[in-house]
């Protein structure tokens, strides 16, 4: 191991290049500063940053050698140029924290595995050299983000070479584009390719845009390339709408759509071999006097047997009712169901059951009747980034805290008395926090940033 206490002196002695040949650890309280126009070559080793790593203008950090190298850091590292130049195209740099790119991430040879972390491209940041052999991947999550975008009247604009070309005369306002490599899937087993784009304009109406979405052949995920179509989701991947009529180019690996007025989450899939569901248009609930009323709408049904209504009781989902489906339909169908046994706060979801036994779940719906300020339970800060506090003015301690995502899945749990909970590991989004005091449960929506 080579323990780096200070690197500034070394860079003054070797201003052109510094080569590290053992595992490189930047200890707590120390700094690794790659000077202006300096190249740091990290060969056949990991970079483990417990202190500060900073990169000067026109500096390059290059990972070389065979096999897999890891990049660990207790905080984001801001690279100017980051180059991957492995001994072969099978060589890998695996991220274990988020990184920022001021100028370019250069894929000379080898691959980058996001491994659940993000690459943020600055205003002038881009991807260089990505192709079918040398590329960024990330089946376990993470994304590449190009932010601080603000454009109008653009023609085949591919921000940061992220892989989406945009033509539009409209003003989009500040815009974020993210590219990830988790295959988007549905509850009934449908799946897309191992690439998606999340396009987030501030001014997201009447854009009348043409987009060209690029992909690499290793990302096809078993889907016949000739069957690719564009799909869009406006609810973070819960349901998907098929956009037919795209122009597919299997030689240059892109598909193009025109007349797009609003943007959201996009992926590519085949309607025949890996359909993404679009049956459930909406699922809503409301307090109606002495009962709760649930309503849902389907766009089409194919072999659907029935809808099972489930309610969250404590930490378990319980079946509380059923509604028979129309079974086969290509027209819009409307359903409703009443819950006559209601508490102050209730959470519901639909289990959609097919005749062949296949199942799919809706998103969770909350119907609230209580004033949270009157319950004696206050949860703050909301939104939260790392820590949530539960202030309890009721009699008795907080016995249990459960956290659910919007699909009704339990994602965190504390079964010992606690009023401070760590939510830093959760993805950004909306969650339901349930707090148990004695035999009573209290709930509140919280947002994780």
Q: Where are the domains of the chain?
A: 1-138, 142-278, 280-368, 372-448
Q: What is the mean pLDDT of residues 139-150?
A: 87
Asked if the peptide bond before residue 182 counts as cis, ω within 30 degrees of 0, the response is no
pLDDT at residue 369 greater than cutoff 70: no
Looking at every residue in the chain, the average pLDDT score rounds to 84
pLDDT at 428: 82
pLDDT digits (tens, 9 = 90+) for 28-53: 888 899 999 999 999 999 999 888 89
pLDDT at residue 187 greater than cutoff 60: no
pLDDT at residue 357 greater than cutoff 90: no
pLDDT at 79: 96
Q: What is the mean pLDDT of residues 327-339?
A: 87
Confidence of residue 333 (pLDDT cuts 50, 70, 90): confident
The CATH class of 142-278 is: mainly beta
pLDDT at 9: 31
pLDDT at residue 441 greater than cutoff 60: yes
pLDDT at 169: 94
Confidence of residue 405 (pLDDT cuts 50, 70, 90): confident
pLDDT digits (tens, 9 = 90+) for 89-141: 989 999 988 999 999 999 999 999 998 899 999 999 999 999 999 999 988 78
pLDDT digits (tens, 9 = 90+) for 155-175: 999 999 999 999 999 999 999
Tell me the whole-structure pTM to 2 decimals. Answer: 0.61
pLDDT at 372: 44
pLDDT at residue 444 greater than cutoff 80: no
Is 372-448 in the same CATH topology as 142-278?
no
CATH 2.60.40.3080 corresponds to the domain 372-448: yes
pLDDT at 181: 93
pLDDT digits (tens, 9 = 90+) for 239-286: 778 888 889 999 999 999 999 999 999 999 987 654 444 467 788 888
pLDDT digits (tens, 9 = 90+) for 287-310: 887 888 999 888 888 778 889 999
Q: What is the mean pLDDT of residues 432-436?
A: 82
pLDDT at 18: 43
pLDDT digits (tens, 9 = 90+) for 198-238: 999 999 999 999 999 999 999 998 889 999 999 998 877 77
pLDDT at 62: 96
pLDDT at residue 21 greater than cutoff 70: no
CATH topology assigned to domain 280-368? Immunoglobulin-like (2.60.40)
Q: What is the mean pLDDT of residues 317-323?
A: 90
High-pLDDT (> 90) share of the chain, %? 42
pLDDT at 208: 93
pLDDT at residue 74 greater than cutoff 90: no
pLDDT at 165: 96
Better pLDDT: 275 or 427: 427
């Amino acid at each position: 191991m080579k323990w780096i206490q200070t690197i500034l002196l070394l860079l003054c002695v070797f201003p052109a290049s510094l080569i590290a040949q053992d595992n490189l650890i930047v200890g707590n309280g120390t700094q690794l500063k790659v000077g202006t126009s300096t190249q740091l070559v990290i060969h056949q080793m990991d970079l483990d940053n417990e202190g500060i790593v900073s990169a000067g203008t026109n500096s390059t950090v290059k990972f070389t050698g065979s096999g897999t190298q890891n990049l660990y850091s207790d905080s984001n590292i801001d690279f100017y140029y980051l180059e991957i130049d492995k001994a072969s195209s099978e060589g890998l740099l695996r991220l274990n924290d988020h990184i920022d790119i001021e100028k370019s991430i250069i894929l000379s040879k080898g691959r980058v595995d996001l491994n659940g972390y993000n690459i943020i491209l600055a205003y002038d940041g881009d991807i260089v050299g990505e192709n079918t052999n040398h590329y960024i991947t990330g089946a376990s999550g993470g994304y590449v983000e190009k932010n601080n975008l603000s454009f109008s009247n653009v023609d085949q604009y591919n921000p940061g070479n992220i892989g989406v070309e945009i033509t539009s005369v409209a003003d989009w306002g500040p815009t974020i584009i993210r590219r990830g490599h988790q295959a988007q899937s549905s509850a009934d087993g449908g799946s897309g390719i191992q690439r998606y784009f999340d396009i987030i304009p501030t001014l997201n109406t009447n854009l009348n845009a043409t987009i060209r979405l690029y992909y690499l052949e290793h990302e096809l995920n078993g889907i016949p390339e000739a069957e690719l179509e564009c799909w869009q989701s406006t609810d973070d991947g819960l349901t998907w709408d098929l956009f037919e009529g795209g122009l597919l180019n299997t030689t240059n690996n892109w598909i193009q759509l025109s007349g797009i007025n609003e943007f959201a989450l996009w992926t590519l899939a085949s309607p025949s071999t890996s359909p993404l569901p679009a049956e459930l248009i909406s699922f809503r609930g409301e307090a109606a006097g002495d009962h709760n009323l649930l309503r849902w709408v389907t766009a089409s049904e194919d072999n659907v047997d029935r809808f099972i209504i489930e309610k969250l009781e404590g930490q378990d989902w319980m079946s509380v009712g059923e509604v028979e489906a129309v079974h086969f339909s290509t027209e819009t169908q409307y359903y409703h169901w009443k819950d006559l046994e209601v508490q102050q706060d209730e959470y519901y979801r639909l289990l959609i059951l097919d005749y062949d036994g296949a199942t799919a779940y809706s998103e969770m719906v909350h119907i609230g009747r209580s004033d949270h300020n009157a319950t004696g339970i206050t949860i703050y800060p909301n939104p939260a980034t790392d820590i949530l506090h539960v202030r309890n003015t009721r009699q008795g301690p907080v016995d249990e805290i459960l956290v659910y995502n919007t699909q009704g899945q339990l994602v965190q749990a504390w079964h010992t008395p606690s009023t401070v909970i760590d939510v830093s590991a959760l993805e950004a989004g909306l969650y339901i926090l349930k707090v148990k005091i004695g035999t009573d449960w209290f709930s509140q929506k919280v947002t994780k940033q």
